[in-house]
Amino acid sequence: MKIGTFFGFEAAHVLPHHPGKCSRPHGHSYRLEVVVEGGLQEDGPATGMVMDFADLKALVRRTVVEQLDHNDLNTLIANPTAEEIAQWIWARLEPELPSLRRLVLWETATAYAMLER
């Protein structure tokens, strides 16, 4: 069984190797999808769930969204392309969330980077 949820954050960046307008400072309203997989828990407060959505949301917010929201991504990632940002997010979530299976980072309404395991 897989479950997922969405997050939003605002951030600015510059793509230092880009030959076009992305080489100038600009920002995006990012949308992040996080999907985890697992069996249904058999006892406790999350009985019948893969994971409590509240726990998933709290973990992702604490681990990545609070770091990225309203930040200059170049202070965290040398070349913050959508692909590099997605890899940065995955590297931070996976140790805390071994059931992570998919991550989709939407940079615009029509452009995204996706990682799956």
Which one is catalytic: 22, 33, 37, 84? Answer: 22
- Quote the tokens at residue 89: 């997010």
Is 22 among the residues known to form the active site?
yes
Q: Cβ distance 26 to 3 under 8 Å? A: no
Is 94 among the residues known to form the active site?
no
Q: Cβ distance 59 to 98 under 8 Å? A: no
Is 116 among the residues known to form the active site?
no
Which one is catalytic: 26, 66, 70, 96? Answer: 70
- Quote the tokens at residue 25: 């400072």
Q: Which of 28, 112, 96 is nearest to 61 (CA)?
A: 96
| Largest separation between any pair of C-alpha atoms in the chain | 55
Active site amino acids: 22, 70, 107
